Amino acid sequence: MHIMEGFLPPMWALFWFVMSIPVVAYGLVQLNKLVKEKPETKSLLAVAGAFAFVLSALKLPSVTGSCSHPTGTGLGAICFGPAITSVLATVVLLYQALFLAHGGLTTLGANIFSMGIVGPVVAYVVFKACKKANIGLMPAVFLAAALGDWATYVTTSVQLAVAFPTALGGTFASFKIFATIFAVTQVPLAIAEGIVTALIVNYISQVRVDVLEQLKVIVSSKAVSTS
Amino acid sequence: MNWKLTLIMLTLLALLYQPVCLAEEEEVWGGADGLAEDKITEIAPDYEPWFSPIWEPPSGEIESLLFSTQAAIGALIIGYFFGYSKAKKQEKNN
């Protein structure tokens, strides 16, 4: 989902920065508030950031014959909401842009928008809806993380399509081309990300259920099966 | 119960990757990001990237070193958290 350095026309690069900066700024405010008001959530915050670090470093092969990577932002979105997660994603994307020439500084705004904002928002909304539907913690986490991951890659396809419409078919034909690369490749990876995120949330619920309750991820400890 | 669930999920993960591992034809397994780059040049042949990375890993090996460093940093933090929390919980139970 990394749009390479310089591969968005300046106009679009600027546009995605304008879209992303307010969210990240709001996330920073929220992050400060959270650390001050609930300092005991700090360790889980570190884990959510670390999880995105690990997962976005793993480039996995997909059935389509190309490699892509999960985003790891589902965990943060479920625990802390999309705004704070956008800050975590920004850290990851900056690391990759500076040290790996993966993504870039000019395309940072666009990449933050897909991985740090749209993906986490989708994961957050799906998780809330699943919680209401009462389908259980693990299935809810799975669906939220998988759909959030996938939404990130659909967003990248849209971003490239609007910047590079084809001469004949326009934006829509272009979207089909990029979606074939990103969205289709991502399906098995999104499922994998859903599974891994569900596993880690399950484990967190075993060792630190208090933090999950405080963040209102879990309603009461009775709702969690204890082993 | 949780052990079983974990096992089921790990099996699912393995199944997900089975077709990839058993693929017989020589696939490229290149990065999707790179494929998108190729498509951009195809759609807009006149497009010139107007900015290039300030620094690029000098070789593929160094790039994979930095990628593993990224994963290692993350894994270290996650491992520390779980070890610490588990020990703390046991302490409390005793």
As a whole-number percent, the residues of chain A with pLDDT over 70 amount to 96
Q: What is the pLDDT of residues B36-70, one digit of tens each?
A: 999 999 999 999 999 999 899 999 899 999 999 99
Residue pair B30/A67 in contact by the 8 Å Cβ criterion: yes
**What mean pLDDT comes out for the span A165-172?**
93
Measured between alpha carbons, how far is A75 from A81 in angstroms, rounded to an integer?
Answer: 9
Question: Is a pLDDT exceeding 60 seen at residue A64?
Answer: yes
Which pLDDT score, from 0 to 100, does residue B27 have? 58
* Exposure string over A202-217, b if 16+ CB within 10 A, otherwise e: bbbbbbbbebbbebeb
The domain locations on chain B are: 59-94
What is the enclosing helix (H) or strand (E) of A12? Answer: helix A10-37
Give the start-end residues of each E strand in A17-142: 60-61, 66-68
Taking the Cβ of residue B9 and every Cβ of chain A, the question of whether any pair is shorter than 8 Å is answered with yes
Q: What is the pLDDT of residues B62-81, one digit of tens each?
A: 999 999 999 999 999 999 99
Tell me the pLDDT of chain B averaged across its residues.
86
Closest chain B residue to the Cα of A211, Cα to Cα? B85
As a whole-number percent, the residues of chain A with pLDDT over 90 amount to 89
> CA A185 from chain center: how many Å?
17
Q: What is the pLDDT of residues A110-152, one digit of tens each?
A: 999 999 999 999 999 999 999 999 999 999 999 999 999 999 9
Confidence of residue A82 (pLDDT cuts 50, 70, 90): very high
Token reading at A225: 């099966």
Confidence of residue A226 (pLDDT cuts 50, 70, 90): very low
Which pLDDT score, from 0 to 100, does residue A224 have? 47
Closest chain B residue to the Cα of A185, Cα to Cα? B32
User: Which of 23-82 (B) contact A at CB < 8 A?
Assistant: 23, 27-33, 35-37, 39-40, 43-44, 47, 49-57, 63, 66-68, 70-71, 73-78, 81-82
Torsion of CA A139, A141, A146, A150, to 10 degrees: 130
Which pLDDT score, from 0 to 100, does residue B26 have? 58
Measured between alpha carbons, how far is A196 from A119 in angstroms, rounded to an integer?
Answer: 16
Which pLDDT score, from 0 to 100, does residue A177 have? 94
Which pLDDT score, from 0 to 100, does residue B18 have? 72
User: Which of 111-150 (A) contact B at CB < 8 A?
Assistant: 138
Sign of the four-CA dihedral A111, A107, A9, A25? positive
Residue pair A33/A133 in contact by the 8 Å Cβ criterion: no
Tell me the pLDDT of chain A averaged across its residues.
93
Which pLDDT score, from 0 to 100, does residue A227 have? 41
**Integer CA distances (angstroms), B27 to A67, B45, B60, in order:** 11, 26, 19
C-alpha distance from A24 to closest chain B C-alpha (Å): 21
What is the enclosing helix (H) or strand (E) of B31? Answer: strand B30-31
Token reading at A147: 């759909």
Maximum Cα interatomic distance, chain B, rounded to a whole number of Å: 70
ipTM: 0.89
Measured between alpha carbons, how far is B43 from B66 in angstroms, rounded to an integer?
Answer: 32
- Indicate yes or no: CB of B29 within 8 angstroms of CB of A105: no
Tell me the domains of chain A and their CATH numbers.
10-223 (1.10.1760.20)
Residue pair A179/A157 in contact by the 8 Å Cβ criterion: yes
- Indicate yes or no: CB of B57 within 8 angstroms of CB of A99: yes
Residue pair B74/A54 in contact by the 8 Å Cβ criterion: yes
Closest chain B residue to the Cα of A186, Cα to Cα? B32
Question: Is a pLDDT exceeding 60 seen at residue A19?
Answer: yes
Measured between alpha carbons, how far is A163 from A176 in angstroms, rounded to an integer?
Answer: 14
